[in-house]
Amino acid sequence: MDFKMEVAGLLAKATELSLEDALNTVEIPGNKAMGDFAFPCFRLAKVFRKAPPMIAQEVAEKLDKPAFIENIQVVGAYINFFVKKGIYAQEILSKVLAEKENYGKSDIGAGKTVVIDYSSPNIAKPFHVGHLRSTVIGNAIYKIYEALGYNCEGVNHLGDWGTQFGKLIVAYHNWGSKEAVENQGIQELMRIYVKFHDEAEKNPALDDEARLWFVKMQEGDEEALTLWKWFYDISIKEFERVYKMLGVKFDAYTGESFYNDKMAPVVEELKAKNILKESEGAMIVDLEHKNMAPCLIIRKDGGTLYATRDITAALYRKKTYNFDKCIILTALDQNLHFAQWFEVIHLMGYDWYKDLIHVPFGLVSLDSGKLSTRHGNVILMEDLLNQAIGETKKIIEEKNPSLENKEEVAKQVGIGAVIFNDLYNGRIKDVVFSWERMLNFDGETGPYVQYTHARACSILKRAGEISLDDIHFDALSDEASLDICKLLEAYPEKIKDAANKLEPSVVTRHLVAMAQAFNKFYHDNPILNSEEDVRQARLAVVVAVKTVMKEGLSLLGIDAPEQM
Ligand code: ARG
């Protein structure tokens, strides 16, 4: 039973509003004293030609109180409905217990494909914490869409092509050695890359040389490509180590280099469609009608650009996946880049340009300001994750030294804390790293939610065999139980809301609310030592919360250990 719908149905009958209008008018009051549902009568004043409080009185008198409603009250212009708690609990909990881990999932996305371009780090640059956001937000969006039945294609659009590889080749020739790169991997590549930038400031000829090497790469020069492939393999190995720690996977690693041989026809198409213009030796698409700087397609020296590859990738993805949405995650400083090339797709006459969605997010800040590879003061993702695990281990040693498989739990909790911290606020906000806050077991954190889940598991373990048949739901008529039922009821909508807004924080926050409600329930209500009917009903709540919390965490890409 959908209670809100039922209430709306009653009201529609009594007011002659359409069911849809009634449904849109029914509110869920923030203040519990105002009932579980409230109907404000202001909108009816025009039709009824009376003061709203009078209308509220009249409408309320006309309502037949259904069995699931305990009480109807008129307060000012509002009609407040109080649901019978036992019936409410029965409706919600039976559904959760029957659907188990499928509760909240749906098939609204059946037959639709969503391409999600996330993580997409740059080869030969370390995987720094800036890419953490793209990785974890993208992974959560993937799982959220998947739960709604969409076919998801996770794409890693690696930054593995472009002038920077020309720079790296020049740097390698001048200051690198095979041995050092083999031994130190990306660290060494980064060192020579930083060196290149320092040297090029003094000697601009190095930049020209780098551009030439990139042109050679585009032309298929063997030496250039062999070096490039070597840098590529070294980088991928390192990225995959981090993905494994995070539990993140991709369906395709089609990075920028993948489009090298696919750009020429696209440039031809732009020409044929009369969109391409020459400007100071370069080829551009003018975007003045949108008040934007032109989109650079081909450089003066013949080199293609990031945008050229993005446009080509969009056409390829449309052809390959026939997507309903193509979602791309990057920091918000790339907003203009996406606005520009989305408009190029529009100008090409493709109406699916509106299905291209750039999902921007804020920066990661540590004390050292914006993170950049150019200057070498980066925090590597792997170091950060290892530190999170180390800090968690210390806490476990202190709180629960006899815990079995401490190593594994420290990993799940430490990494979970980092992911949760990233997904807690709206994505556009900057993320600040603070171990103290992130790992606070009593704060609004990953460990807090995981701990609550583990607490539920431990109660169930101590309870032993339980039957979930013939539950006496009337035993759940206290406020804390009702609060949990409401949060459980809202959960499926939260998943849809998170998908529509491309905002995993909707799920994150809901899990925190659920954990808080559960802890209050646990605090107020003895479970294992209460009389049989009550015990069974309360255990049913524990089972439902445990199931939903575990699933909710998994939508965020976070494990839920049973003990911690
Ligand atoms: N490699 C880029 C960066 O690190 C992100 C790529 C995002 N995806 C895309 N299709 N442009 O900023």
For the cut 70, the answer to whether the pLDDT of residue 369 exceeds it is no
pLDDT score, position 409: 97
- Report the C-alpha gap between 56 and 73 in whole angstroms: 10
Give the angle subtended at the CA of 330 by the CAs of 322 and 139, to the nearest 5°.
65
Per-residue pLDDT, averaged over 321-341, amounts to 97
Query: What does pLDDT average to over the chain?
Result: 94
| Domain shared by 39 and 156, yes or no | no
Which residue's CA is minimally distant from atom 6 of ligand 1? 120
Which of 140, 32, 88, 43 has the alpha carbon at shortest distance from 477?
88
Residues near ligand 1 (Cβ within 6 A): 117, 120-122, 157, 159, 310, 313, 328, 330
Say whether both 163 and 126 belong to one domain: yes
Question: Are residue 171 and residue 282 in the same domain, yes or no?
Answer: yes
State whether 403 and 442 are in the same domain.
Answer: yes
Q: Indicate which residue's Cα is closest to atom 4 of ligand 1.
A: 121
Show which of 65, 83, 101 is a domain's final residue: 83
Which CATH number fits the domain that encloses residue 67? Answer: 3.30.1360.70
Q: For position 372, what pLDDT does the model report?
A: 45
**Which pLDDT value is given to residue 498?**
98
Domain count for the chain: 3
Atom 11, ligand 1: residue with shortest CA distance:
310
Residue nearest to atom 12 of ligand 1 (CA): 330
Residue 91 maps to a domain: no
CATH number at residue 437: 1.10.730.10
Q: Probe ligand 1: pick from 330, 334, 342, 370, max atoms within 8 Å of CB? A: 330
368 pLDDT above the threshold of 60: no
Ligand 1 atom nearest the C-alpha of 329 is: 7
Atom of ligand 1 nearest to the CA of 117: 8
Q: Are residues 347 and 434 in the same domain?
A: no
Q: Is residue 89 part of a domain?
A: no
Q: What digits encode the pLDDT tens for the residues 148-205?
A: 999 999 999 999 998 889 999 999 999 999 999 999 988 899 899 999 999 999 999 9
What pLDDT shows up at residue 310?
Answer: 98
- 75 domain residue, yes or no: yes
Distance of CA 159 from the midpoint of ligand 1 (Å) = 6
Answer yes or no: is pLDDT of 377 > 80: no
Report the percentage of the chain scoring pLDDT > 90. 84
Indicate which atom in ligand 1 lies nearest the CA of residue 331: 12
What pLDDT does residue 364 have?
83
CA 308–ligand 1 middle distance (angstroms): 13
Q: Are 343 and 311 in contact (CB under 8 A)?
A: no
| 46/130 same-domain check | no
Residue 363 sits in the same domain as residue 392: no
Structural domain contains residue 274: yes
pLDDT category at 370 given cuts 50, 70, 90 is: very low
Domain that includes residue 23, residue range: 3-83
Q: Are the beta carbons of 119 and 249 closer than 8 angstroms?
A: no
User: What's the whole-model pTM score?
Assistant: 0.91
Same domain for 440 and 473, yes or no, is yes
Same domain, 349 and 468: no
Cα of 118 vs centre of ligand 1, distance in Å, is: 8
pLDDT at 547: 98
Expressed in angstroms and rounded, the spacing between residue 257 Cα and the centre of ligand 1 is 13
For the segment 82-107, what is each residue's pLDDT rounded down to a tens digit?
999 999 999 999 999 999 999 999 99
**Residue 367: per-residue pLDDT:** 52
pLDDT at res. 375: 46
Phi, psi of 298 (to 5 degrees): -135, 130
Give tens-digit pLDDT for 113-162: 999 999 999 988 778 777 899 999 999 999 999 999 999 999 999 999 98
Q: Are residues 342 and 235 in the same domain?
A: yes
For residue 157, the CA-to-ligand 1 centroid distance in Å is 6
In whole angstroms, what separates CA 279 from the centre of its chain? 40
Largest CA distance in the chain: 88
Q: What is the pLDDT of residue 376?
A: 53
Confidence of residue 397 (pLDDT cuts 50, 70, 90): very high
422 and 348 within one domain: no
Backbone angles phi and psi of 64, in degrees to 5: -85, 125
Atom of ligand 1 minimally distant from the CA of 337: 11
Q: What is the pLDDT of residues 294-305, one digit of tens each?
A: 999 999 988 889
The share of the chain scoring above pLDDT 70, in percent, equals 98
DSSP β-bridge partners for residue 39 = 79
Looking at residue 399, what is its pLDDT?
Answer: 92
Same domain, 332 and 211: yes
562: in domain: no
Question: Rounded to whole angstroms, how far apart are CA atoms 145 and 324?
Answer: 12
pLDDT tens, position by position, 413-457: 999 999 999 999 999 998 887 888 888 889 999 999 999 999 999
Q: Which of 123, 125, 128, 157 to mutate to test the pocket of ligand 1 (most atoms within 8 A of CB)?
A: 157
Q: Which has the closest alpha carbon to 403: 357, 458, 330, 331?
A: 458
For 233-257, how does the pLDDT look when each residue is reduced to its tens digit (9 = 90+)? 999 998 999 999 999 999 999 999 9
Name the pLDDT band for 374 (thresholds 50, 70, 90).
very low
Nearest to 10 by CA among 28, 29, 23, 1: 23
pLDDT exceeds cutoff 80 at 308: yes
**pLDDT, position 2:** 85
Q: Which residues contact 25 (CB under 8 A, 6 or more apart)?
A: 8, 11, 17, 39, 40, 43
- Given 83, 101, 132, the domain boundary residue is 83
Residue reference for tokens 């320092």: 198
Tell whether the model's pLDDT for residue 371 goes beyond 50.
no
Flag whether 93 is in a domain.
no
Examine the fold and report which residue of 317, 347, 370 is the final residue of a domain before the chain moves on: 370
> CB within 8 A of 343, min separation 6: which ones?
287, 290, 292, 295, 353
Tell me what pLDDT residue 302 has.
83
Atom in ligand 1 nearest the alpha carbon of residue 131: 4
Cβ atoms of 200 and 297 within 8 Å: the answer is: no
Show which residues are catalytic. Answer: 125, 128, 131
d(CA 528, CA 531): 8
3-state helix, strand, coil in the chain (%, to 5): 60, 10, 30
Who wins on pLDDT, 3 or 516?
Answer: 516
What gap in Å lies between CA 452 and CA 228, rounded to an integer?
Answer: 48
282-285 vs 276-279, strand pairing mode: antiparallel
> Which pLDDT does position 495 carry in this prediction?
98
